[in-house]
Amino acid sequence: MAVTNKEFEFCGVNHLALVCKDMARTVEFYRDILGMPLTKTIDLPGGRGQHFFFDIGNGDALAFFWFPGAPEAVPGVSAPEALPTKGNFMSAHGSMNHIAINVPAERFDEYYDRLVEKGVEVTKKLNHDDSPAQSSDDLHEGVFVRSVYFFDPDGVCLEFAAWTKVFDDSDVAHDPVRADGTKADGMITRRTPVPAE
């Protein structure tokens, strides 16, 4: 489904900036385990820390700050405390829950095996579909994306995601929920609310 932004010409994500506890350990994980090229390194002026950039493909970058004296992470608040299927995956408002990195669908199984071989703790393969469970152990025609989740050394949740379907209008079919838990009926579906009896 081709969707055009009439307000701004966006060209994808330039970079997403996260904070790490140990830049050397971050380089070892992202460059040496995941193979992301390190494209730019910066020592911040006045001893305020470092800022490193890794290439994640398609002209996009994943960047990390290291700040001396930064507060410790708070799993379950600033990021999920557990991987999907392994515990509480919720995080606080305004937090970054996870980063999904697009991988080719035809190489998904190979990449899953490669993560396991490198000693990365991963979830099972999740084949997301529109079933009540929203995931299947089997790859079938209704699967729209395949996922595997894992943590980096600082507890940042990462996902390798492989799209398996081209979306159409039928894929945008749910009205959003407001902060108080009520649905914004008709906002997406354009239905009028059903009166209560």
The tokens describing 194, both together, are: 């059903």
Q: Where are the domains of the chain?
A: 1-71, 98-175
Look up the CATH superfamily of 1-71: 2,3-Dihydroxybiphenyl 1,2-Dioxygenase, domain 1 (3.10.180.10)
pLDDT digits (tens, 9 = 90+) for 108-145: 999 999 999 999 999 999 999 988 888 888 999 989 99
Q: Return d(Cα 127, Cα 34) in angstroms, integer.
A: 22
**pLDDT at 1 (0 to 100):** 54
Q: Are 52 and 41 in contact (CB under 8 A)?
A: yes
Count of positions (residues) in the chain: 197
Q: Which of 12, 2, 114, 122 is nearest to 57 (CA)?
A: 12
Mean pLDDT by 10 residues, the chain (197 residues): 76 88 95 95 92 92 93 90 91 89 94 96 94 89 94 95 88 84 82 48
Amino acid occupying residue 81? E
Q: CATH topology for 98-175?
A: 2,3-Dihydroxybiphenyl 1,2-Dioxygenase; domain 1 (3.10.180)
- Which long-range contacts link 98-101 to residues 24+ away (Cβ below 8 Å)? 98/149, 98/156, 98/157, 98/158, 98/159, 99/16, 99/62, 99/156, 99/157, 99/158, 99/159, 100/147, 100/158, 100/159, 100/160, 100/161, 101/56, 101/57, 101/158, 101/159, 101/160, 101/161
Domains 1-71 and 98-175 share a fold: yes
